[in-house]
Structure 1
Amino acid sequence: MSRVGKLPINIPKGVSATLEGLVLTVKGPKGTLARQLPETLDVKIDTATIQIQRRDDTIQSRSLHGLARALVNNMVLGVSEGFKRSLEIQGTGYRAEAQKGVLNLSLGFSHPVQFPLPDGIQAAVERQNIIHLEGIDRELLGQTAARIKALRPVEPYKGKGVRNVGEHIHRKAGKTGSKK
């Protein structure tokens, strides 16, 4: 039995979950999320908990058991509390500005980069170099943060680029003069 999959998911007050066929819908104060679950799993919804069980003991159902439980737990946490990610921009002249649904980034290119935010993700910029992303879908939030980081990855010599707040980058030593 999966150690993660057998744990029940607690439903906080103000959150409701419904199952229609294989689609689980979770509604809460921050919004609504829906996800199609694998057919090898059974979902039991009580008033205060959601329990995910597998029908058989095949390799596929065993591998999806813990994954499905974690995804449903993230849905419940997202509609009740929401998720946040923070990115930091380092480099001379590198800055960010948030407008309606668009992040305007100045990342050392000859042109400004306009990054459209997907629906459900909000951005706020602090001191022109820290970007706070918020949303209810953890998967979409992480993918958005990864796409922003990919615009200017951190280079190992000077440390310029976009990184997670508090992320440590291993710095390399530059070239030194040759001694003959």
Structure 2
Amino acid sequence: MLMPLQSGSIMFATVQSVKKGAAGEPGELHGAFEVNRDMGSLYANTTGGIFGFLDDTSLTGGVEPVPVAGRGQVKIGPAVILSNIAGDSVEEYTIEITRVYPPQEDCNRDLMVKVTDPRLLETTGGIVQGMSGSPILQNGRLVGAVTHVLVNDPTAGYGILAEHMLSMAGLPKGASAA
């Protein structure tokens, strides 16, 4: 069940600590929001994510938009996720896309991913609660975002395709992501 969203704010946050995940016990990121630092507004809470507009572009500081991969461009193989697991710095971590599921209606499990980055495995044990929404990139394109961790194997999880998210947000599939 989704919490209805009438309106909301995008706020700056920092990660203060990590509870490392283990089989049967998902880990989590612990952080704090800067409630007096409004960075944008939210307009939708869907099964495919929370959508909004970023007004404070200081976060994007010189980052170029990335083209969105269509389903046919997503391949089984190496990829990266962008995630913040300490403080306020976003870093790139290696993963493997192990499966691309056939199209399904209202599903946020389009991909199966496996964490391969030794730094991420050491710090978090893999995917932890709080990493949902971490962008997945492959071959210079936005493939999707992390959605779930597998409770019995925290090194693996699910992702939603970017084109699926764009559709849920009411945006064209050819859009770029910044």
By percentage of residues, which structure has more helix? 1
Same fold (TM over 0.5): no
| TM-score computed with the length of structure 2 as normaliser | 0.26
- Larger relative CO (CA 8 A, sep 6+): 1 or 2? 2
Task: Please say which structure displays the higher CA radius of gyration.
Answer: 1
| TM-score computed with the length of structure 1 as normaliser | 0.26
